Amino acid sequence: MSVGALQAMSLVLRRELCLSFRRPDQLLQPLVFFLIVTTLFPLGLSPQLSLLRQMAPGVLWVAALLASLLSMDGLFKGDAEDGTLEQLALSGQSLAAIVIAKTIAHWFVSGAALVIMSPLVAVALGIPVTAFPTMLLSLSLGTLTLSWLGAIGAGLTVGLRRGSVLLSLIVLPLAMPLLIFGANATDRAIAGDSPEGAVYFLAALCVFTSSLAPLAATAALRITLE
Amino acid sequence: MWTWFYRLASPPYVYRVASAFTPWLLLTAGIAIAYGLIDGLAFAPPDYQQGDAFRIVYVHAPAAWLSLFAYTTMAVSGAIGLIWRIKMAHALSAAAAPIGASFTILALVTGSLWGRPMWGTYWAWDPRLTSELILLFLYFGVMSLRAAFEDPARGDRAAALLAIVGVVNVPIIHFSVQWWNSLHQGATVAKFGKPAMDASMLWPLLAMLLGFMLFFGAVLCMRLQGEVLNRERQASWVREAIKA
């Protein structure tokens, strides 16, 4: 029985989501980390709302970057260790399609979960409600882009024993433009300016990485798997 | 016609070529840099705005240019190694990485020394400076990724892929002064039409640029010899080459 590429993608996607919902602690840990990191800033800097509001976009974005990096390490690792990844690579399906499905599943459980959590953190940091739509949109685009970048890094470091620090070293420089435009969009929305320019940039980065990163991540996996 | 290209895949040949080129590159680099330094530091007229402080351009601009050139060299030879599976291309890529990182550090340090009297600060979070800093981090990432693999062939190919991914940063650095309103000054030499610099200042700069290129080639050849010897240390020709 032959399985089409789309069907294979949806099967992998369903399997990934099912696996992550069966291990809720792994799902929750990055989210709790996100909460704790954002709590550190008001404690360490100043609980003054006027000051916090200035720092809030940066704090939110840095915490989101670090939190999604935490889970990035596991994107291919579990499947590589028990041999599933090799089976998937040998299945005759395009490896790129499998990488795309796995990355999107990863974004659902890490990036999208962070986006849903972000209003809670935003209120605590004094971000006005009027800035929420921009913040949610920019965070969604940003975390998806980050998942694509992370897929490249995870593909390159999957065979390594201490790959997680290296993964951050590889992905964070590539993610810096994301931080600049993401924080800038949120910042402008808080100030009441039009955030469109920065949001368009984020959308462009998202499209760019969505189209090229799967190829790079697939090539990375082929290097580390063989 | 392509035999010279095929022969570059052979380690002993690469080793011999690199050893033969090294002294000539060093000599010409020395001449060009000596001329550039003497003419640039002693004879070129002071800038009407920046005075004598502008003279650091003779180190800063070539270093910054070479930081990009070395990255491109590393990425292109990495791509050649990935596509045609040429081991020597990976050796060249590995040899270029630390040199490029050093040029990046040199560009950042001389830039901040220049920034202190001109901008009033050692560092500004300006697009050109930030993207150059990202370039340094990319060099570090490529170098540590290569070192992290126990199987050197796999490390080579992983590092090459990361270098290719990082190439997106190169045009960003180059065009950052045009795309964003930057504190960093715009292009003065590499633009169409007449350069925005007097010939008396320009000649030493071009000489320094040529000298830095030759110096990069010389160090690259020296590091390449080391890479080849290390990679081929089991081969019998290496024993003979070291004895000789």
Helix (H, G, I), strand (E, B), or coil: what is residue B218? Answer: helix
Question: Does the CB of B222 have a partner CB in chain A at under 8 Å?
Answer: no
The tens digit of pLDDT for each residue in A175-226 reads: 988 888 888 888 888 888 888 888 999 999 999 999 999 999 999 999 888 7
pTM for the predicted model, two decimal places: 0.89
Q: Do B148 and A223 count as a contact with CB atoms less than 8 A apart? A: no
Q: Give A-chain residues touching B164 at CB under 8 angstroms.
A: 216
Check if the beta carbon of residue B72 is closer than 8 Å to that of residue B137: no
B140-193 per-position pLDDT tens digit: 999 999 999 988 899 999 999 999 999 988 888 877 777 666 677 776 665 555
Contacts A220 to B, Cβ<8 Å: 158, 161
B154 contacts in chain A (CB < 8 Å): 159, 223-224
Question: A152 and B165 in contact by Cβ < 8 A?
Answer: yes
Contacts of residue A177 in chain B, CB cutoff 8 Å?
A: 172
Q: Closest chain B residue to A152 measured between Cα atoms?
A: B162
User: Is residue B231 pLDDT above 80, yes or no?
Assistant: yes
Q: A139 near A107, Cβ under 8 Å?
A: no
Domains and CATH numbers, chain B: 15-243 (1.20.120)
Rounded Cα distance between A9 and A7, Å, is 5
Mean of the per-residue pLDDT values of chain B: 87
Which positions in chain B touch A169 (Cβ < 8 Å)? 137, 140-141, 144
User: Which residue of chain A is at minimal alpha-carbon distance from B125?
Assistant: A180
**Partner residue facing A156 (CB), from B134, B140, B145:** B145
Q: What token pair was written down for B118? A: 């001109």
* CA triple A57-A61-A67, angle to 5 deg: 145
Query: Would the CB atoms of A173 and B158 count as touching at under 8 Å?
Result: no
Which of A163, A166, A223 lies at the smallest CB-CB distance from B157? A223
Q: Does B50 touch chain A (CB under 8 A)?
A: no
Cβ <8 Å between B148 and A173: no
**CA–CA dist B48, B53 (Å, integer):** 11
The set of residues, in sequence order, having a beta carbon less than 8 Å from that of A110 and lying 6+ positions away, is A30, A67, A68, A71, A72, A143, A147
Please name which of B20, B59, B66 lies closest in space to residue B40, comparing C-alpha atoms.
Answer: B59
Q: Determine contact, residues A5/A93, Cβ cutoff 8 Å.
A: yes
The interface pTM score, or ipTM, of the predicted complex is: 0.85
With beta carbons less than 8 A apart as the criterion, state whether A9 and A101 touch: yes
% of chain A beyond a pLDDT of 70: 99
With tokens 């028990």, the residue in question is: A82
Give the model confidence (pLDDT) of A93-143 as tens digits.
Answer: 888 999 999 999 999 998 898 999 999 989 888 888 888 999 999 999 999
pLDDT of B23 > 60? The answer is yes
SS3 B47: strand
- Helix and strand numbers (H, E) in chain A are 10, 0
pLDDT band (50, 70, 90) for residue B1: low
Cα distance between residue B105 and residue B140, in whole Å? 11
Q: What are phi and psi of A93, to 5 degrees?
A: -80, 160
Q: Of B226, B103, B96, B231, which is closest to residue B163 (Cα–Cα)?
A: B96
CA distance B79 to chain A (A): 12
Q: Is B138 on the interface with A (CB under 8 A)?
A: yes
**Closest-approach residue (CA) in chain A for B135:** A173
In Å, how far is A143's CA from the nearest CA of chain B? 19
B165 close to A (CB below 8 A): yes
Closest CA to A61 of A178, A152, A171, A144: A178
Question: Distance from first CA to last CA of chain B, Å, rounded?
Answer: 32
Do B137 and A166 make contact, defined as CB atoms within 8 angstroms? no
